[in-house]
Amino acid sequence: MRELLGLALRRNPKRAHLLVSNVLGKHVPQRPATVHGAGVRLGRRVRELLGDEAAARAVVLGYAETATGLGHSVADGLVLAPYLHSTRRPVPGVATVGGFEEEHSHATSHLLLPEDPGFLASTGPLVLVDDEFSTGRTVLNTIAALHRRFPRDHYVVVALVDMRSPEDRARLDAFAADLGARVDLVAAAAGAVHLPDDVLERGAELVAAYEAAAGAREGATAPTGPPAGPETTRVDLGWPEGVPDGGRHGFTPTHRACLEAALPAMATRLAAALGKTPDTSAAPGGTASADAAPAGTAPAGHTARVAPAGHTAPDPGHPAAPDAPAASAAPAAPAAPDASAAPDVPAASAAPDAPVPPAAPDAPADDPAATPRRAAPAPGRPGGEAGGPGGEAGGPGGDAGGPGGAPGEPGGAPGGPGAGGAPAPPRPLRRVLVLGFEELMYAPLRIAEALDEALDGVEVRYSTTTRSPVLAVDDPGYAIRTRLTFPAHDDPADGPGPRYAYNVAPGAARTAASTPSSPSSTRPPTRPRCTPRTGCSPSLSAHTDRLVLAVVPSYRPQTPPTPRTVPERQAPPMHQPSYEPLRGPDFSSYAPEEVGWLLQDFSHVTLEAPTEEREEAIQSGGAHYAESLPVEYQPNERYQELFRAALDTSAARIARAVGAVTEIVLAERSPRPVLVSLARAGTPVGVLMRRWARHAHGLDLPHYAISIVRGRGIDTAALRWLADHHDPSDVVFVDGWTGKGAITRELSDALAPYPDFDPRIAVLADPGRCADTYGTRDDFLVPSACLNSTVSGLISRTVLRADLVGPNDFHGAKYYRELAGADVSEYFLDTVSARFAEVAEAALADAGRLAATDRTPTWEGWAAVERISQEYGIHDVNLVKPGVGETTRVLLRRVPWKILAQRGAGADLDHVRLLAEQRGVPVEETDDLPYTCVGLIHPRYTRGATGADGKTVGTTADKTADKTADKANTANTANTAGKAAGRHERTVAAR
């Protein structure tokens, strides 16, 4: 186990530790044959388990981003299995056939985007591959989501390590029994991690302390201009035409055969590019010498002291051996930030047949691992860190044992002038790091493996960048020794942000071969950011004297896939329910003709739970939000007055948007649409659209309300009812507004097995820019968002719970008859409908303008949510709720943490400020929001998230940041915690 794993800390409020694999090729540079071989061996074990006949029918699914290469390697071991990996990047033109949540990850939502919509429709075993099996929740979420659409009788879970507790093992067994399917597990090793009860708090404190110290050090030593470096050489790999760059859209055995045939030639081209004489005149001090350590490890006896983001400083006082196993599988806290250096320990070298072999005892005389070097002086001393006048070895005699000086002494500047100031001569190729990018793991892995075979006497290592922020600490027993930070190499639809490369130590790589994908298939063609002087290249150039950029072309499906009828077996077996839609006044305060509810009446069932208890259960994974109901918030008179004032102000604006979206639906979707609103926020909008069609065209459109649940899908029994009573091609799904687009994605995923239904949603407002049928894209107050059931026909949000909803049943909801005295549902509808006549001309003009406009979704909202999630240390997009409507819901139903408000937002936020004041939630103004406001759900799932008075209190991270800021101010080395985090917004007390 210790040969396979190390431990590190990460910035994640849900899981403080990270199991760092030594054979995955993600965080630790490793021999490519070791990485590929680990997956192939697991694949062969799966083939033995299944037998040849079943293995030939299997499909392999890998998890983004860390296991995309591992999953592909497992598929290689199975030989005939097609491969697909999940992705966090939506791709225009490629239908989403499924998705699921990874609850503990920094980025939780996974999408499945095969080019062939029937890719997962086989009846053979599904093999799910992840790097680790910690709790099993991700696998359970995946199987549950896929089994609803593509049921099968055998699943195989594959991981490098199985770290589950006995309780987690029992949970999987019970899940398989309930599912009625066989679930097997194949792992290379098994073990356990024992964590203290307060690991989240202690982890957050350690991360804050180390990064504050690193930030202060970086600020004192940061270069004033962009780093100089060697020229970047671009090489055309000759990638085989028609072969995907990985498994994002599917990778078949035919693709595998074509790639295998092309690998030797690609390796030859890359080797030729690497063999060019480097231009050492441009190399900065501190780049690797001809005798540098293997890529991904520091030279023997050398490491970085503490690795701040984007700037890893060398400290030859310690060894750097990121390929070596951690000292213990149990979490050990690193030394304090100001701890003194550990004694010298020689770095381990890699042998061909062991994941992490010991150092060879008979190292040659010219091997730097055989000779320790002197410690570097502290920052600020003459010639201190790399780049000083006498830094690491590089010029003549610069290596340890030669006549040149140690760091800080004249005569040994790395890669630059030697003792006499003469340029360093070209050095022979000795070591290469092949660096892949994020999800693109398999292509660079196989290229690295072929390059290793093509280059005699050259040590080739392989690793990939990641978007996961991990704390880097230079300690021999700690798995992440150094960290490089740089922008994303492309412009992904799921948002920009920092990317990281770990354990690429300063002075470590003699030559690096970088293999990013060409511009992501999630965007129109643009120039990659990984250019010679931008993005990742400057960060890499500081650690090598030769940089080769080998671009693997992104695979783009040639044409949008033709919708294909999925065999009936893929849909869960359902029969026609015996009941009909519920209607008012028996169910809801709406008139019976306004809407038919495709729901069960759960009014007799107690489903409400205190908000804090629900939040704890939801965020801990113990319950889904649709299994219970929040206690209905009853606004006081002041708030109800605010609702009425807001409605009077915005009624005409809402009426105009209702008119515009209804006209677009009538013109583009169907002349006799069947409106199906997503209960319950979409239902008032559906009623208003129905009223507009009657007002403007004399049409009496049918309107139903249906349940959809994030992570669980749409009510398939209700879909069947609709298909039996209406033409599915006439059905138009309606919602109130978009936030980040989670429900839009959920609807698309849920309808994948039902191609006769159009998954495009019609919304009143689309501030998230994730729909193509809308009345406006403005983010303004829709007063129906201000209230809960009392503006939605007195109906609760929908409920999906296994003991209440069978496989052939409608989902359920409650009718709060007891709240009739506070009901304003009809008042809201009548007030807006009364403005139809005065806005009719403007609404028609809006519809005409929109019809001529490119309304393709850009998903800008999702990108903003990803950025906010990272900036505020939440690392869970489900806890970021953008837009006025979603922010209002956070304040009414969830445990809010803080509100981000666009500076200068006016009356549209009056109700938000009032609710925030009542709940003790800070409102923070900022200038860079694409929304009017954003609500942040408390990122702690314990009831400590609120005080005794029910008001919000700070998180441990907040308190740690405050303590860090106090210490920084005392030491006069940093500004406030907010400024240290790069934010300068003004926190405004809610008025």
Q: Is the pLDDT of residue 159 over 50?
A: yes
Nearest one of 417, 385, 373, 4 to 187, comparing CA atoms: 4
pLDDT band at 68 (very low <50, low <70, confident <90, very high): very high
pLDDT at 173: 87
Q: Does residue 375 belong to any structural domain of this protein?
A: no
Whether 61 and 101 map to the same domain: the answer is yes
Last residue of a domain, one of 851, 881, 896: 851
* 381 assigned to some structural domain: no
How many Cβ atoms from other residues are within 10 Å of residue 322's Cβ?
Answer: 30
CATH of the domain at 934: 3.30.1330.30
pLDDT of 128 above 60: yes
Alpha-carbon 157 to chain mean position: 22
User: What is the number of alpha carbons within 13 Å of residue 924 lying toward its C-beta?
Assistant: 17
pLDDT of residue 614: 61
Residue 219: inside a domain = no
Largest CA distance in the chain: 95
Angle at Cα 121 formed by Cα 182 and Cα 598, nearest 5°? 90
Q: List, in sequence order, every residue forming a beta bridge with 952; answer none if it has no partner.
A: 946
Helix, strand, coil abundance in the chain, percent, nearest 5? 30, 15, 50
Condensed to tens digits (0 to 9), the pLDDT of residues 258-286 reads 999 999 999 999 998 887 543 333 332 22
| Residue 808 belongs to a domain | yes
- Between 421-430, 470-479, 490-499, the lowest mean confidence (pLDDT) is in 421-430
Using omega within 30 degrees of 0 as the cis cutoff, is the peptide bond preceding 893 cis?
A: no
Identify the weakest region by mean pLDDT among 5-9, 500-504, 631-635: 631-635
Helix (H) or strand (E) holding 924: strand 923-926
Residue-level pLDDT at 193: 82
Structural domains counted in the chain: 4
148, 176, 194 - which closes a domain: 194
Band (243; pLDDT cuts 50, 70, 90): very high
Residue 799: which CATH number?
3.40.50
Contact 861, 882 (CB under 8 A): yes
Of 476 and 796, more confident: 796
- Asked if residue 746 and residue 884 are part of one domain, the reply reads no
On the question of pLDDT at 107 being above 80, the answer is no
Confirm whether 367 is domain-assigned. Answer: no
Distance CA 639, CA 278 (A): 70
Work out the average pLDDT over 564-579. Answer: 39
Q: Is residue 957 part of a domain?
A: yes
Pair (972, 831) in one structural domain: no
Chain centroid to CA 53: 36
Same domain assignment for residues 733 and 867:
no
Question: What pLDDT, in 10s, does the model give residues 606-626?
Answer: 888 766 566 566 655 556 778
Write down the pLDDT at residue 405.
Answer: 32
- pLDDT greater than 80 at residue 19: yes
pTM of this structure? 0.50
- Tokens linked to 463: 């690793």
Tell me which residue of 459, 790, 799, 767 sits closest to 627, measured CA to CA: 799
Residue type, 815: Y
Alpha-carbon distance of 853 to 138, in angstroms, equals: 40
pLDDT at 332 over 50: no
Q: Are residues 827 and 753 in the same domain?
A: yes
pLDDT at 536: 62
Q: How far apart are CA 654 and CA 31, in angstroms?
A: 61
Nearest to 513 by CA among 416, 443, 576: 443
- Exposure of 597 in the CB half-sphere (CA atoms within 13 A): 31
Whole-angstrom distance, CA of residue 763 vs CA of residue 93: 21
Q: What is the DSSP string of 52-72?
A: HHHHHT-EEEE-TTTTHHHHH
Q: Are residues 678 and 770 in the same domain?
A: yes
Quick one: 239 and 278 in the same domain?
yes
Provide the mean pLDDT of the chain.
Answer: 73
The pLDDT-based confidence of 940 (bands split at 50, 70, 90) is low
Sheet holding 182-190, edge to edge: 83-85, 59-62, 126-133, 154-162, 182-190
Determine contact, residues 71/110, Cβ cutoff 8 Å: no
- Other CB atoms within a 10 A radius of the CB of residue 975 amount to 13
- Mean pLDDT (whole number) for 202-221: 72
The verdict on 188 and 255 lying in the same domain is no
* Pairing outcome for strands 933-937 and 880-882: antiparallel
User: What is the rounded distance in angstroms from the CA atom of residue 484 to the CA atom of residue 26?
Assistant: 13
**Amino acid residing at 198:** D
110 and 160 co-located in one domain: yes
Rounded (10°) CA dihedral 759, 764, 769, 771? 10
Q: Output the 3-class SS for 502-533.
A: ECCCCCCCCEEEECCECCCCCCCCCCCCCCCC
350-378, pLDDT tens digit by residue?
A: 222 333 333 333 333 333 233 332 223 33
pLDDT of residue 83: 96
Domain-ending residue, one of 827, 851, 875: 851
Taking the CB of residue 844, how many other CB atoms lie within 10 A of it? 15
- Predicted confidence at residue 919, as pLDDT, reads 86
Measured distance CA(404)–CA(412) in Å, rounded: 5
Say whether both 535 and 603 belong to one domain. no
Q: Which domain holds residue 659?
A: 590-607+636-851
Banded pLDDT at 213 (limits 50, 70, 90):
confident
Residue 101 CA to its chain's centroid (Å): 10
Residue 75 and residue 152 in one domain: yes
pLDDT above 70 for 732: yes
Q: Is 222 among the domain residues?
A: no
Same domain, 256 and 294: yes
Is the torsion defined by CA of 402, 408, 410, 416 positive or negative? positive
What end-to-end distance do the CA atoms of the chain give, in Å? 56
Domain assignment of residue 566, yes or no: no
Helices (H), 511-636: 536-541, 611-619
